Chain A
Amino acid sequence: MDIFLTYALAFALALPLGILIARLFSAPASRFTSGLLRLTGVDATRPMNWRQYGAALLGTNVLIGVAAFLLYSLQGGLPLNPDGIPNLRWDTALHTAASFITNTNQQHYSGQNSLSYLSQLVGITALQFITPAVGMAALFAVLRGLRGETNVGNYFLDVTRAIGLLIPASFVLALLLTSQGVPSTFSGAKTATLIEAQTVEGQAVTTQTIPVGPVAAMVAIKQLGTNGGGWYGPNSAVPLENPTPLSNLFQSVSIILFPVALVCAAGLFLRRRRFGVALIAVMSVMSAALTLGAVLSERQPNAALSGLAAASGNMEGKEVRFGTDATALWGAITTQTSNGSVNGMLDSFNPLGGLVPQLGMFLNDVYGGIGVGLINMLVFVILTVFIAGLMVGRTPELFGRKIETREIKIASLVILLQPLLVLGFTAATVALPSITANSNPGFHGLSQVLYEYNSAYANNGSGFEGLGDNTPWWNVTCAVVLILARFLPILGPLAIAGYLAQKKAAPETSGTLRVDTPVFAGMLLSVMLLLQLLNFAPALVLGPVAEQLTLSSPVNTGATK
């Protein structure tokens, strides 16, 4: 029921939001926006071709990335550091910068106490607004190319517009969360007296310090911007970050709100509503299947408790106030989008339930990250059109423009990147035990490593935990994966759209392949499943599948966990 409500609410809100977004990105720059941009010396009216747009996108991200890296590396000596938090180690700083400029929020540093206020404010929070805006801007540049426009827009204008959209949306969500009791204050930490005194390492502890702050605001953009990095270490599992079932519902909805709204917007923006509907349908079928898989799996008791009379669903690592369904739903949708926030521990899911987040991230376009999820799917649209187009007896074309060698080269490069980085680094990591620190051996250990790179590639940021990941090896390799997986899959499709826009569009006739039919949608789905999931089948068989079979097999109960 909760699950149905979450989807229904998200779709009901996504449609008007989508219409709003489509209008916003179709309209000329408002006087306010262009005036604002002129202050920074940017001409918002200057149109850019795909190369200029891509260069602007890459250039600003490099600048921001370097600035963030320097900030983390030098925070010890910078202002707004009352607690005297030291500089981050170079590799941790590198990974953190890479993680936050790629809309990933994968955290290898440990919690709130590693970053100064300046780092939190400028290096983290600002980026949580900027990076989804960059994704949204990139999407509209690609869409303009697909509309046949060789000038794909103005990057700075697009980013500003997107930020202008995210700020009020976050404000509304923050108010809603505050109403549920999420802290929204600038006052200092609260101290509470423990009801029962505890003894920790020989010392009596009678009070507890509860950190508060502008939590609601931070959580709002964390969810709406498919960011995922929480205020507190355990993310939305913490009662202060996600106190009630209602706050859980708000947050669940906002995880998929923008990704869904952007698909609606894309359909309208391309003036191809049926195509938009087809894409939403494909995404929703995958989403529903994965969510259902997770929910059913988590309703099964934990294998360690099997046979016990009281065994109900798998409650290990779950909050009692949410239960198995809401936690399974969250685990499914947070990895279908590139969000990565959690309200329970994915590591403690039953093995097949833990497979669901992995699958969601391998696909990386079940709704997907803001902007980039749809861009990812467009790569598969192009590949599907290439094969389906041949089957109707024409050289393949998308919206009347021929898909030829150059486009296929770029698309091939993009789909090659995922197995190269994810499988390559997973294999290297498990093959070189001297430099890795796996807390778990065996099937589960393999799952953890695979998960980490998978999460990095999907720019998701959720973790399987239990991984000692703040080492130079993990930091550097993950940074490489994060950056390549963010920018190549943006720039590649941007180039494809740019090249397509330069071609003459053939008029669409009854002999033209239509991309908005159920048959095409079905083929798109199959191509995505075949080309993405099959690549990872062997790794998944050795990881979660073998683990599940081991756990459920009577001889080996509890062997590796």
Chain B
Amino acid sequence: MTALPNLPAPNPAPTPAKKSLFAPEQVRNALRSSVTKLNPRSMARNPVMFVVLVGSALTLYLTLANIATGKSWGYEAAITVLLLLTVLFANFAEGLAEARGKAQAASLRAAREDTPARRLIGGTLTGTEETVPSTRLTRGDLIVIEAGEIVAGDGEIIEGLASVDESAITGESAPVIREAGTDHSGVTGGTRVLSDRIVVRVTSQPGESFLDRMIALVEGASRQKTPNELALSILLAALTLIFLLVVATLPLMARFVGVEVNVVTLVALLVCLIPTTIGGLLPAIGIAGMDRALQANVIAKSGKAVEVAGDIDILLLDKTGTITIGDRQATRFAPLPGVTEAELAHAAALSSLSDPTPEGKSIVALAAAQGIKPTAPNNADWIEFSAQTRMSGVDAGEISIRKGAGSAVSRLTTERGGRIPPELQATVDEVSRGGGTPLVVLSGTHILGVVALSDIVKPGMRERFEQLRRMGLRTVMITGDNPLTAEAIAREAGVDGFLAEATPEDKMRMIKEEQAAGKLVAMMGDGTNDAPALAQADVGLAMQSGTQAAKEAANMIDLDSDPTKLIEVVEIGKGLLMTRGALTTFSIANDVAKYFAILPALFAAQLPVLAPLNVMRLNSPESAILSAVIFNALVIPALIPIALRGVRYTPGSADALLTRNLLVYGLGGIVIPFIGIKLIDLLLGVIGV
């Protein structure tokens, strides 16, 4: 693996300015679409609300018939309006979720609109440049970007290296390095190149970037129901059919006992009984799940991916950047016998004086803390770290110090005619076992000792993993470290398992094994060689900074390239499923109160003996029915905030979650409508209906 320039330590995900749920412009869009969605063809996608629409058409006809024949029509008209409002509220919820998703995506996309692009004619590196608007770029075009310019489209660097400011997309201000031929060769449209010149091959067609695809997913046209959404829709449709049967058979039985029931009231009863609350909010809940992913700067390629995230059993997490802070720090000098700690510290610090890496700086700092502050010799020749030599150091006169990986330094010692002290291996192992990376220091032909570089586990990770465990998730740390080091860090961080010296093949094998045992696996990756594993994983989250192959293979892309994002994605998925379950429970539980409101009212005039059933003591039959229908309609907009924000997922055992949600949405679902309907009834009484 190529030595990477230091990527900035990922900060916690930038928190996008919390937008109000009801931003005026989005509300305007949603209002517009709540009317356009009345189109029967789009209504038919939602059987529950379609029944309400048909019901309102029926009551409208009866209203008009009553007007024509000179009968009273106020009640009929009121029901018609209320039913229509119920449909509009549901459409509004869906429209609002769409508008929020689009606004979110649009703000991400805004940067790259109308960016001039310098395209190489003929698509070859030697071609001459022409300037075209970014919207006319197609897949395979080569574009040149130099310092200070905006990247015109998603693509992959095929030549050069540059530091890129991705803050427009990620909110992260520190620049990152992107380089051709590495696992960090991807650039995103809208980001700004800060230094150097790169040539990028465009990888997306206009309108086909990941962002465009996500927008399309949010919008109605290409949105497909996810598997669980489909299953729930079928259950809701079945409940609707059952209540249709209940209501359709009712007048026949009523007539047998000498009661004629009002058709408008029957329609009102039907609409109150069918699960309009969850039926009306179901599409919004699904879209909102994708919105929330987008808010976390994650592009989901399908709604299904978000849904599956809730089911993940195992998280494969990269050690660096996720579990530990990116850089290792020197924590200890371990001299070999016959060498003092001060000698080792002096040599190690001297060789690191001009080492720009955090590791080098930490060695200098550690020595200084022990009072050892060497000064740089005049004629120093600094040897930088390279992937081939795996060493760095300094040559100055007869001073020649090297520090680096044990095997590389040992080889050099032998080459220089030195002797490998037998105690070295024990010291190296001891450092490894302590979770450190051993850095062997050689001065001339003498090995002085070992500097222990330790991974610093990010604060709070232990607790985080503890939470995940309570949620039933296992975490596995993936690292290139040797097993000794890996085990020590794994124990310190409190993960459930680790995969040491991991190759992409190892990851792939592990995923397949876990899947064979019925588990769902999520992983994050960025390299081309991660692509097969990303595709194999149930949730593959590719970093935006990663290669095109990785991004194509994954089913989600993290614009922040933040490895801890995987945990957030799981929480978003769980929140989405919980919202569906909670609102379904609420919707069905509501029926109890509605029965108590409407059934006595239905027969009140002709069967006064049924009066004792009117437990809520509602004013009049008309008022009872109107109150139930009004409550039924109002509950949809009242629940829009829950549908869009999602039921908050607090990590904990399934039992605890179920108990809490049942209390809130189950018991609440039974009690609240009794109170709500009674209040509306009182209010109607006051205004004299």
Contact = CB atoms under 8 A, between A and B. Distances in A.
Contact of A395 (B310, B584, B612, B659): B310
B609 A556 contact: yes
Interface in B379-430: none
Q: Which of A390, A408, A415 has the most CB of B within 10 A?
A: A390
B654 interface: yes
Contacts of B231: 386, 403-405, 407-408
B296 interface: no
Contact of B241 (A400, A404, A416): A416
Nearest to B654: A392
A430 B254 CA distance: 9
B654 A512 contact: yes
B311 interface: yes
Contacts of A535: 242-243, 245-246
Contacts of A23: none
Given A393-B574, A510-B472, A546 B609 contact: yes
Given A510-B472, A546-B257, A405 B241 contact: no
Interface stretch (A188-196, A328-336, A500-508): A500-508
Interface string A388-411: 111111111000100111011101
A419 B581 contact: no
A439 interface: no
Contact of B228 (A395, A443, A517): A395
Interface stretch (B27-35, B197-205, B318-326, B587-595): B587-595
A534 B310 contact: no
**Chain B interface, DSSP helix/strand/loop, else mixed:** helix
Q: Which of B246, B259, B654 has the most CB of A within 10 A?
A: B654
Contacts of A430: 252-253, 255-256
Contacts of A404: 227-228, 231
A412 B259 CA distance: 32
B610 A412 contact: no
A420 interface: yes
Contacts of B310: 393-395
Interface stretch (A39-47, A289-297, A459-467, A519-527): A519-527
Contact of B227 (A405, A411, A519): A405
Interface residues of A, number: 70
B30 to A, nearest CB: 26
Contacts of A415: 238, 242
Contacts of B228: 390, 395-396, 404
Interface in B627-666: 649, 653-655, 657-659, 661-662, 665-666
A542 B658 contact: no
Contacts of A531: 239, 242, 588
A489 interface: no
A511 B246 contact: no
B422 to A, nearest CB: 47
Interface string B219-258: 0000000011011101101110111011011101111111
B298 interface: no
A427 B249 contact: yes
A530 B592 contact: yes
A77 interface: no
Interface stretch (B43-51, B54-62, B443-451, B516-524): B516-524
Interface in A370-387: 383, 386-387
Contacts of A512: 472, 654
A147 interface: no
**Chain A interface, DSSP helix/strand/loop, else mixed:** helix
B578 interface: yes
B613 interface: yes
Contact of B610 (A507, A519, A534, A546): A546
A419 B247 CA distance: 11
Nearest to B517: A507
A386 B584 CA distance: 10
B653 A511 contact: yes
Contacts of A541: 599, 603, 610, 613
Contacts, number: 211
A530 B588 contact: yes
Contacts of B473: 509, 511
B145 interface: no
Contacts of A522: 662
B603 A509 contact: no
Contacts of A412: 234-235, 237-238
B617 interface: no
Contact of A392 (B474, B573, B658, B665): B658
Given A400-B518, A530-B591, A408 B578 contact: no
Given A511-B471, A542-B253, A546-B607, A391 B653 contact: no
A412 B254 CA distance: 27
B577 interface: yes
A160 interface: no
A395 B577 contact: yes
A22 B3 CA distance: 64
A539 interface: yes
Contacts of B256: 430-431, 441, 445-446
Nearest to A532: B242
B637 to A, nearest CB: 23
Contacts of B469: 510
A419 B246 contact: yes
Interface in B590-630: 591-592, 595, 599, 602-603, 607, 609-610, 612-613
Contacts of A396: 228
A538 interface: yes
A254 to B, nearest CB: 35
A553 interface: yes
B235 A511 contact: no
A527 B612 CA distance: 26
B575 interface: yes
B57 to A, nearest CB: 24
B470 interface: yes
Contacts of B599: 537-538, 541
A332 to B, nearest CB: 23
B313 A509 contact: yes
A514 B256 CA distance: 47
B257 A520 contact: no
Given A430-B256, A510-B653, A390 B577 contact: yes
A441 B237 CA distance: 35
B551 interface: no
Interface of A: 383, 386-396, 400, 403-405, 407-409, 411-413, 415-416, 419-420, 423-424, 426-428, 430-431, 441-443, 445-446, 504-507, 509-514, 517, 519-520, 522-523, 526-527, 530-531, 534-535, 537-539, 541-542, 545-546, 549-550, 553, 556
14 contacts: A388-B581, A394-B310, A405-B230, A405-B234, A416-B242, A430-B256, A507-B518, A510-B470, A510-B472, A510-B653, A511-B470, A513-B658, A527-B588, A546-B610
Given A391-B658, A519-B658, A556-B609, 18 more contacts: A387-B584, A390-B228, A390-B232, A390-B580, A395-B227, A395-B307, A405-B230, A413-B238, A416-B241, A419-B245, A507-B313, A509-B313, A510-B471, A531-B588, A541-B613, A542-B257, A542-B259, A545-B610
Counting from the closest, the 4 A-B pairs by CB-CB distance are A511-B472, A390-B581, A393-B574, A509-B472
